[in-house]
A and B are shown apart, each in its own frame.
Chain A
Amino acid sequence: MKNKTKVQEYFTAFVMLLPYIISFFMFFAYPLAKAFIISFQEFSFLGDTPPKFVGLLNYKEALTSKMFLDSIVNTFYYSILVVPTQLIIALILAVIVNDKVKFKDFFRTTYYLPTVTSPVAVSIIFLFLYKTDGLVNQILSHIGITPRNWFNEPSFVMPAIVSVAVWGSVGFYMVTFLSGLSTIPDQLYEAAEVEGAGESTKLIKITIPLLKPMIFFNTVVSFISTLQMFDLSYIIGGSDGGPMGKAMTMVVMIYRTAFKEFNMGVASAMAFIVFGIIFILTLIQRKFFGEEMSY
């Protein structure tokens, strides 16, 4: 009797897990193994030639491709500009909106809107605003700045994309900071006030230190997501990476190599290189920020 219910329970669990199990093998485990194999093969999607084992040739080709190396540089340039900018703005907004102002619900809702807006819509709106005769240039010309085609000049395209990315994601990080702030106990502030601490002391001695795990968490999330940037760069710069390829990111490069040039082998090698970069950086960040994170 006991055994029968046990078998029944195993069976129930199996049925309940079945959709996940199917999806895991079909869309995760097998593809992951396959991607690894393809990265050592000459695999052109076009034509009927069977895949051929080429050893590390794809990795060599990826790492000697100027376009791919440039895309790594561009992506890091993007990350280094986006991560601190968006986190600092998000943190300032979170601390203020937490409960110091009226209409805070209105502000929170407003700031979050871009994060639910499609990146395609966001890109298109900013393509319009940043046009040579667009509104941004019209305003800038009033303060004596020459109108330029922001998305079409090699040295301006990435900073312009950065501004769009920051606009689009500050709201998300603000909300995560708000949730971090809500976990700080009131008594700490009360105690500090009794001791006669001023506002800035409380901010520096209580809020920021207690928010450190959240700052770490957001830095990692923000960094990893910027390294995987695709939509903005692809919609604004196209598969050629915009002016002189300066908007080309690592993922756009993978996409281009796989689905425009149909060079699946090299694209897979690039994907594993990107994966390696992200993985190593995550480990370094973990070390750098110490054992703060309790998640």
Chain B
Amino acid sequence: MWGRKTTYGIGVKMIFYSICILWALVTLIPYLIAVITSLKPVEDVTKFSIDFNKLTFDSYRYITHEFPFLRWLFNSFVVAVAVTAGNILFNSMAAYALARLDFPFKKVVFYVIIGTMMIPGQVLLIPIYLILNRLGWIDSYKGLIIPWLVSAFYIFFMRQYFLTIPKDLEEAALIDGLSRFGIFFKIFLPLSLPALATQAIFIFVGNWNSFMWPSIIASSEELYTLPVGLNSFYGQYYQFWNQVLAGAILLSLPTIIVFVLFQKYFVKGIVTSGLKE
């Protein structure tokens, strides 16, 4: 951008490329070492060298067969998918009401939604725990999922998107006899696929990686999500670095795949969410 049409001297170019390559190495080398170490037998884990004949998937086989890693993986998927589905539907519904419907206290509701974003979550942690405890939802999927089904930020985000959909489209549909719900499901949701995708990806990744809440709510091992399970596994088997790192790769891979497949939505999400009101 800055000086788009200038051709740079070779020296400047070399500095640019050096910085880019240096940071790429800083980023990638830890992953690379984690992958290679996870494939090594345990006696080789701290060796600098790689003996290609000894590389094996044994540690992956071991953690998924001897330890409940597959169960934790399953729990993570169930929770992340349920939370994502809930957010897509509920945030869009609220956003539609705010963008297109008329009702009393509309402004109040809007500012309340904005206001809730200002409160840091730790303040709410203890009372939410106590509420769930009274409901008997501790150590259950309900406790892991239900508190996170709605997000003020993405209601705001979807509202901004819905405001850009032309009103004429909606009026024509109303004249044709489509109900408000029909309009929402048949016109607004299909037209908002890019925004929905952005929202879905951020919520999925955020929930997949979330650690504090599941470590409070899931107390029995069968209910651990993968981050909680891996952390507790690390606590007991930290000398078996090949297995611990295999677990770390298993935990990282799904979100990395989602990111690489859908990266344009990530960038779009950050661009739209960071700015303008």
Report A's interface with B, CB cutoff 8 A. 6, 9-10, 12-14, 16-17, 19-20, 23-24, 26-28, 30-32, 34-35, 38, 45, 89, 92-93, 95-101, 106-114, 116-121, 124-129, 131, 133-135, 138, 167, 170-172, 175-176, 178-184, 186, 189-190, 193, 199, 202-203, 206-207, 214, 217, 224, 228, 230-231, 234-235, 251, 254-255, 258-259, 264, 267-268, 271-272, 274-275, 278-279, 295
Complex partner residue of A125 from B23, B31, B127, B258, CB under 8 angstroms:
B31
B255 at the binding interface (Cβ < 8 Å): yes
With A111-B23, A184-B1 in contact, is A275–B120 under 8 Å at CB?
A: yes
With A28-B124, A118-B227, A271-B122 in contact, is A124–B5 under 8 Å at CB?
A: no
Taking a contact as CB atoms under 8 Å apart, the answer to whether A96 and B234 are in contact is no
User: Which of B50-58, B62-70, B268-276 is found at the contact surface with chain A?
Assistant: B268-276
Complex partner residue of A117 from B4, B86, B103, B256, CB under 8 angstroms:
B256
Q: Which residue of B lies closest to A258 (CB)?
A: B126
User: Which of B89-97, B164-172, B190-198 is found at the contact surface with chain A?
Assistant: B89-97
Distance A167 CA – B29 CA, assembled complex (angstroms)? 12
Taking a contact as CB atoms under 8 Å apart, the answer to whether A119 and B209 are in contact is yes
B109 at the binding interface (Cβ < 8 Å): yes
Q: What are 21 A-B contacts with C-beta separation under 8 Å? A: A6-B102, A10-B102, A10-B104, A12-B180, A14-B103, A16-B93, A20-B93, A24-B112, A31-B127, A111-B23, A116-B255, A120-B209, A124-B234, A125-B245, A128-B244, A170-B23, A183-B275, A199-B3, A214-B274, A217-B274, A271-B123
Taking a contact as CB atoms under 8 Å apart, the answer to whether A13 and B97 are in contact is yes
With A113-B259, A120-B211 in contact, is A179–B5 under 8 Å at CB?
A: no
B10 at the binding interface (Cβ < 8 Å): no
Report the minimum CB–CB distance from B212 to chain A (whole Å): 5
B177 at the binding interface (Cβ < 8 Å): no
Taking a contact as CB atoms under 8 Å apart, the answer to whether A228 and B122 are in contact is yes
Q: Which residue of A lies closest to B124 (CB)?
A: A31
Report the minimum CB–CB distance from A215 to chain B (whole Å): 12
Distance A246 CA – B27 CA, assembled complex (angstroms)? 26
Taking a contact as CB atoms under 8 Å apart, the answer to whether B150 and A20 are in contact is yes
Q: Which residue of B lies closest to A265 (CB)?
A: B126
Complex contacts, B17 vs chain A, CB 8 Å: 101
Complex contacts, B248 vs chain A, CB 8 Å: 120-121, 124-125
Complex contacts, A231 vs chain B, CB 8 Å: 211-212
Complex contacts, A258 vs chain B, CB 8 Å: 125-126, 129
Q: Which residue of B lies closest to A31 (CB)?
A: B127
Distance A10 CA – B238 CA, assembled complex (angstroms)? 58
Distance A251 CA – B184 CA, assembled complex (angstroms)? 40
Complex contacts, A170 vs chain B, CB 8 Å: 23
Complex contacts, A207 vs chain B, CB 8 Å: 1-2
Complex partner residue of A176 from B16, B150, B274, CB under 8 angstroms:
B274
Report the minimum CB–CB distance from A246 to chain B (whole Å): 20
Distance A30 CA – B125 CA, assembled complex (angstroms)? 12
Taking a contact as CB atoms under 8 Å apart, the answer to whether B16 and A96 are in contact is yes
Taking a contact as CB atoms under 8 Å apart, the answer to whether B266 and A175 are in contact is yes
Distance A107 CA – B27 CA, assembled complex (angstroms)? 10
Complex contacts, B249 vs chain A, CB 8 Å: 121
B8 at the binding interface (Cβ < 8 Å): yes
Complex contacts, B125 vs chain A, CB 8 Å: 254-255, 258, 271
Distance A213 CA – B234 CA, assembled complex (angstroms)? 42
Taking a contact as CB atoms under 8 Å apart, the answer to whether B123 and A117 are in contact is no
Distance A35 CA – B231 CA, assembled complex (angstroms)? 29
Taking a contact as CB atoms under 8 Å apart, the answer to whether A116 and B258 are in contact is yes
Report the minimum CB–CB distance from B55 to chain A (whole Å): 17
Complex contacts, A112 vs chain B, CB 8 Å: 259, 263, 266
B175 at the binding interface (Cβ < 8 Å): no
Most chain B C-beta atoms within 10 Å of own C-beta, residue among A34, A120, A134, A172: A120
Taking a contact as CB atoms under 8 Å apart, the answer to whether B126 and A267 are in contact is yes
Taking a contact as CB atoms under 8 Å apart, the answer to whether A27 and B266 are in contact is no
B160 at the binding interface (Cβ < 8 Å): no
CB-defined interface of B14-38 with A at 8 Å, one 1/0 digit per residue? 0011011001101110110110010
Taking a contact as CB atoms under 8 Å apart, the answer to whether B101 and A9 are in contact is yes
Report the minimum CB–CB distance from B119 to chain A (whole Å): 7
Taking a contact as CB atoms under 8 Å apart, the answer to whether A230 and B212 are in contact is yes
Taking a contact as CB atoms under 8 Å apart, the answer to whether B119 and A275 are in contact is yes
Complex contacts, B209 vs chain A, CB 8 Å: 116-120
Taking a contact as CB atoms under 8 Å apart, the answer to whether B227 and A228 are in contact is no
Besides A19-B90, A20-B91, 4 more A-B contacts (Cβ < 8 Å) are: A119-B209, A119-B211, A121-B251, A131-B46
Complex contacts, A180 vs chain B, CB 8 Å: 274
Q: Which residue of A lies closest to B276 (CB)?
A: A295
B130 at the binding interface (Cβ < 8 Å): yes
Distance A89 CA – B109 CA, assembled complex (angstroms)? 40
B78 at the binding interface (Cβ < 8 Å): no
Distance A224 CA – B113 CA, assembled complex (angstroms)? 19
Taking a contact as CB atoms under 8 Å apart, the answer to whether B37 and A128 are in contact is yes
With A95-B2, A199-B2 in contact, is A16–B94 under 8 Å at CB?
A: yes
Complex partner residue of B33 from A6, A98, A135, CB under 8 angstroms:
A135
